Every structure is written in structure tokens, then in C-alpha cells.
A and B are shown apart, each in its own frame.
Chain A
């Protein structure tokens, strides 16, 4: 007997869900599991809108299950903690990111790399250990295993801290893994959106020289004057790009549409690294001789482990880094998605769930 989303679990929940690949979100009644011994029940205050939410609700990657409640940049207050939970108490300010589960026994899980566990469970559009569908943070509350909950530092504001749970760790992790933290080295950041703008801030905190590469000339003032980038290149300006050939130690590419890698590889010095974080829906074209002639590499990275996510939050709190956000009420979420599709946001929408989600 198939249970409906409302009756599946004992705790009533309410959120907004997409029902089909049109991606239009609308009010949705469902339920959350009982708070288990390892679990924490969180009243959600804010949830960031990640571009992945847009890809997911429109089934652009082809593995959508509806109804889909997106949202994996969740911050809120602990309402209840299970009897084995020691890290969190009622009233704590906590966050949940892109994962809510993993096998917890493989090599990757044991090395704090839950994000690379073959059985890793996404916060939404996935299936939990008990076989039920996971619903994300565009909702009033969530029940999560304590291992996948992080503390939001006291110094960090809730709304502007929410996007760090995906965007923040997604750029912080590769910077550490690929060795992009040596002060004075030159990092290029492609795309000045949700990921890109956080990357600029974190890179500056690491002492790197930062050049933003963007297709929008209008973003130069923001990039340089407000975010602190050292330089700005318009990707459609061949002469300026050419003049910068061979000048960068690494590049972080946040662009999620299909785009040319050749000019980016040319911007790298020999032994340079191009790390791609965006998830286009088609393969990219990779020219090989620039890789061979300059011993360059293209690498990927996918969010970060739980330990690293906490480390990132603490690092950001210490350096006063938060996302630049536009806080919106829940009923504006479809408008926000339409604007996001046109990159019309500086630089992350954050839904004020607690104050605007009404049944």
C-alpha cells in the first residue's frame, strides 16, 4: 500500500514542491520521520536557492522525482535532539547542506569524505535509508542525522550564512584539495554568481590574487570595488584574454552551461589547474594539446565532507565572510527562479522560510 507524502511519516510538514518538469513550485503538505536517537529536528528559518535547485526542478539532469521539495542551503534552530545526540541541544543554530546520509562505513566516510561515498544521500530528490523520499529545505522543518548537521557560528548571520552550506563548501573544498591556498598565487574565477562571488571572498581571505572572468562587463565594478577582486576579464574580449595568457596558477570554473575550455586553459601557467564545479547537461570539449604542452590539468570537485563543511563555516566566520543575499518570501519563489535563470540576482536568493511560509 503506497502511503501518500502526508501520511508516510508521523510529523506533519509543509513546504513548496515542484510537481513536474515545468519547475513551477506550489504549496505541498507532506510529513517528516519521527526524531530518532541520532536525529535532530530543525525548525527551518532560511533556505538558500542554489542554481542546482533550478536544474533539478526542471529535470535538466534527467533524474528528477516529483513531487520535489528542493533546498539544500538550510539554516534553522534545533527543536528536538535524539537521545544519542551530544553535539546539539534545543535552541542551537544549525545548518544542513547537500547531504543527509551516507554509508558511514566505507573508506571515504571514514576519511571525512562522505561526499564521495558511493551511497551518499542527497538532501532532496533522493531516497533515505528507510526507502522514503527525501524532501529539502523549502519547508518548515527537517529531521536530519546529527552527523550531517553543522553548527552555524554565533558570529555568522543566519540569512547570509545559509548559502555557504552549498556554495561556500563547493568552492572551499577544491581550494584546499588542489592546493590553491598559497598567498600570492593567482587564481582566476570564472562566473560571478552564487559560487563565484563566495569564491572571490574566500580566495582573498587565503591571500590569493584574484581575477574574475565573466561574460558580463557590467559586473566589473562589483567584482573589483565591492568584492575585492584584483582584476576582471570579459570573456568575450579576445585581446585582454590573450594578454592574460599564461598568468594564472589556477582557475575555478563555476559556469554550469556548456562553454569553451580552450581560452581558460590558455590563461593558466604551465602546471596550472582548471577546476570545474558547474554541472552542464552535456559534455564539454577538451582540447588536449594545451594539457600536454603545459602539463595542465582539469579536475572536478563535489561539495565537501561534513568535517570540511564545519571547518569552512568557522573559517568564514573568522574572516567575516558571508554570501551577498536577496531575502525573499516563500510565495515569490517562482519569480526568483525565473530571475535566477537569467542570472538576475546579487548573488543568492534566500527564502525567509520562518516568516513567510504559511499553510
Chain B
């Protein structure tokens, strides 16, 4: 395989020669975008809908590297066994997989590894449908491998634990989110932010330590290292807790990290979808005054009456936006389509923070004067570490926070995906796996 570094600057288009494999150095995953469909690399779970052409947009604007497997033998092995997913591992499993970028899901038989010393095996009860699942089944980010079993908002009951497992026992109610592995030794891993580890392994369409592809929660059983399993508190219903494993932590983490969790603070949430509605609930529970910012005036009533937001701004209404300038301490922006951030920066008070958790693929325009004159910041955030995910669930249990869900049967999943694409869901679909997922 070839490795090509492509750089494009404003001064010249430079395409360097392909670099021979032996001369390549390790790439820091968090700073490069891999677009090789064979690469097993960092993907942000919250990246947005995009056109196929956006790959070219991406390569036009950033340093990209096309990765090759650091272990050629593994690559070959993977290709071989990928044709025999049922035989890869000793434990039979079944689920729903997309076979190609049409994204249509169909019954799929495969296998899970035997429960290792540190592993937890659990029967999947429910799995939330995250918008990222939709992007991935359609290979919209160019990183998907097929067959692809999505699902990273997984909850269930423990059926077996490895001999060295200390935190869980059979019968426990547990969950798994967006990650199932990391290097466990770098600074990020040591500081409880495994989500920023360069070798973080995604719950699905990733490559596990043993070289095999990871399959997600649209399946009957999961086997996961105990470090990446969280306990679902008894006070939380399993089905409505599932979406917290991605949507919940994606909002909880930046509210804490960027200091937007102090009582009395005024926080804006942009976008009232799967992420946004959970964000409003967390922010309110942390004592904030919350303003929802949305393009749809129709969402106002729900935002205020159902989710508890204090006010609502229609972002296309110039007058409303003008009147609200300089009123927000922070904004969490869940919108992943390209949109202007200048009006959002204008809504911030001096020292205000705009935090993006949805990532548009095209760069956005950053007006520098307002940033400097008000010492404001624009930052990002991507899910959260394992310790924080558990903390988030405990916080949700204490404050009675769950997602607003529509529970569906497994055979409805393709229709659900179509409705999700149109934003037609209040506010997360959750698949009733245990009762409706059947073997292929």
C-alpha cells in the first residue's frame, strides 16, 4: 500500500511523491484525518452528514494522510477473516449490519470473542440509534468497512465475567458507549481521557487489539473489556438511559470541562435534536439558565415546556439575535451542518466560550476581532472518558435525566434511519434488541 502526504497551501498546490512504507513515521491520530477506507483509525462519533464530495473539500483544506496498517500481516488476516465473520471467534452472535454504502441494514450472523480475563459479556437489551450510525452505514466519512454493525449506545445485563473482573458480576445492568479500547498507557489514558488517546478503539468499525473488526450494539451480545463498561444506575430505566452513553456524555463533558456547570451561568444550546435535548436537561440540572437556539420556531414550545429551557432564540431572526448579544456565558453547539458562528460569538459575553460538539466538514469562518476584543474562545469536545461517563450516568440518575425516546423493533430500523435523516424523531430511536432482534 502506498502512503501519500498531500498538502495544499494558499500559495501553491503541492503534491508530494508517494512515500515508501519503510520511511513512514507514526501519525498522531488526533490531528490527522484518515480517509483510507481500509484504515482503522480515529473517528469522531459526532461528525455530521456530508456529501461524498466533502472528502475532496477536506483534502483541500487540511493536511491529510492516507494510512496503511502498521502490520501488513494483520491487514491480510483481516481481509481473509472478514469473509467469514461467523468463524472469527468462538461465540456465535447475530445482529443487523449494513453490507454496503446504501446503508440498508439486514440480519447478520457473526461471532464474539471468548470472555477474556478482563472481559465482561452481556446480553444486549437496548441500543440507541445515534446520528453517527447513519453517517457510518452510508460511509459518509469514508472510514467505514463492511459488513458494518453500528450501535454505540448499548445497555444490557451481564451474563459472564472474566476471572480478573472486579467491578461487575452476573446480573448487573451495564452499558457501553463509543469506545471499547485504548492504549491504557499514554498521558490521556492515565488522566481518564481515553477518548483523546491516539489509539482509541471505536465500538464499531474499529480494529481491536487482536486485529479483528469491532461490531457494535445492534446485536444480541457484547463482549467488552471491563474498563470500557459502565454501570447503569438502578434509578435509570435501561431504554431511556441508552442514549446517554453517547449523546449524554457528549454534552456533559464540555459543560464540565469548559466551566459551564456553575449555578446561575447562562448557557445556550444550539440545535434541539438527540444531543441538544439532553444538553438542555444537563445544563438545567447543573443550575444554569438555558437558552435554546434553533432554526425551527416550531420547537419553541417543546424546548420550554418539555425540556425546561428558559428561553428560545430563532437563529434566523436578526432582531432576536441582536437583542440577545452579549448575554451568554457559554454555548454548546450541536449542529453539524455548516453554519455561521459569528452570530453565536456575538451572543457571548466577554470571556464567553463557544463549544462545538458537532463537526461540520468544511471550515467555518472565524471572525478574529470579536474573539480578541472580548477574549472569547471557540473550542471543541468529543464524547468523554470512562470515569466521566460513569459520573455522568450517576448524575443523570440523581437528577432524573433520561433521553426522550421512541422505542422501535429491530425490523423497523431502516425506516427509523430514513426518519432520522429527516430529523423526524423526538428525540432518539432506541432499538428493543432483547425482544425483537432475531437471528438471520
Task: Please give the residue numbers on chain A whose beta carbons come within 8 Å of chain B beta carbons, in ascending order.
Answer: 108, 116, 177, 236, 238-239, 241-243, 245-246, 259-263, 265-268, 270-271, 276-280, 283-302
Say yes or no for B76: interface residue by CB 8 A criterion: no
Q: When the two chains form their complex, are residues B63 and A298 in contact, meaning their CB atoms are under 8 A apart?
A: no
Q: 5 A-B pairs, CB-CB below 8 angstroms?
A: A239-B5, A261-B366, A295-B379, A298-B378, A299-B377
When distances are taken between beta carbons in the complex, the residues of chain A under 8 Å from B33 are 289
Given A238-B7, A294-B196, A300-B374, the answer on whether A288 and B380 have CB atoms closer than 8 Å is yes
Given A260-B10, A270-B193, A285-B363, the answer on whether A246 and B28 have CB atoms closer than 8 Å is yes
Q: When the two chains form their complex, are residues B63 and A242 in contact, meaning their CB atoms are under 8 A apart?
A: yes
Q: When the two chains form their complex, are residues B382 and A283 in contact, meaning their CB atoms are under 8 A apart?
A: no
Task: Give which listed residue, A116, A293, A300, contacts B42 with CB less than 8 A.
Answer: A293
Say yes or no for B423: interface residue by CB 8 A criterion: no
Q: When the two chains form their complex, are residues B5 and A298 in contact, meaning their CB atoms are under 8 A apart?
A: no
Give the complex CA separation of A351 and B250 in angstroms: 54
When distances are taken between beta carbons in the complex, the residues of chain B under 8 Å from A245 are 27-28, 31-32
Given A279-B372, A292-B359, the answer on whether A243 and B25 have CB atoms closer than 8 Å is yes
Q: When the two chains form their complex, are residues B63 and A263 in contact, meaning their CB atoms are under 8 A apart?
A: yes
**Nearest chain A CB to B260 CB, angstrom units:** 13
When distances are taken between beta carbons in the complex, the residues of chain B under 8 Å from A286 are 341, 363-366, 378
When distances are taken between beta carbons in the complex, the residues of chain B under 8 Å from A289 are 33, 44, 47, 359, 361, 380
When distances are taken between beta carbons in the complex, the residues of chain B under 8 Å from A295 are 193, 196, 257, 379-382
When distances are taken between beta carbons in the complex, the residues of chain B under 8 Å from A276 are 368, 371-372
Given contacts A239-B5, A242-B63, 6 further A-B contacts (CB under 8 A): A242-B5, A246-B28, A279-B368, A285-B364, A295-B380, A302-B373
When distances are taken between beta carbons in the complex, the residues of chain B under 8 Å from A297 are 353, 377-380
When distances are taken between beta carbons in the complex, the residues of chain B under 8 Å from A116 are 350-351, 373-375
Across the two chains, which residue of chain A brings its CB closest to B351?
A116
**Nearest chain B CB to A248 CB, angstrom units:** 11
Q: Mark B333-359, 1 if CB is under 8 A from A, else 0.
A: 000000001100000001101001111
From residue 32 to 70 of chain B, which have CB atoms closer than 8 A to chain A?
Answer: 32-33, 42, 44, 46-47, 61-63, 65
Q: When the two chains form their complex, are residues B350 and A108 in contact, meaning their CB atoms are under 8 A apart?
A: yes
Say yes or no for B367: interface residue by CB 8 A criterion: yes
Q: When the two chains form their complex, are residues B366 and A285 in contact, meaning their CB atoms are under 8 A apart?
A: yes
Say yes or no for B16: interface residue by CB 8 A criterion: yes
Across the two chains, which residue of chain B brings its CB closest to A115?
B375
Q: When the two chains form their complex, are residues B42 and A288 in contact, meaning their CB atoms are under 8 A apart?
A: no
Task: Give which listed residue, A263, A266, A291, contacts B378 with CB less than 8 A.
Answer: A291
**Nearest chain B CB to A251 CB, angstrom units:** 13
Give the complex CA separation of A265 and B61 in angstroms: 13
Say yes or no for B188: interface residue by CB 8 A criterion: yes
Give the complex CA separation of A241 and B379 in angstroms: 22
Give the complex CA separation of A246 and B197 in angstroms: 11
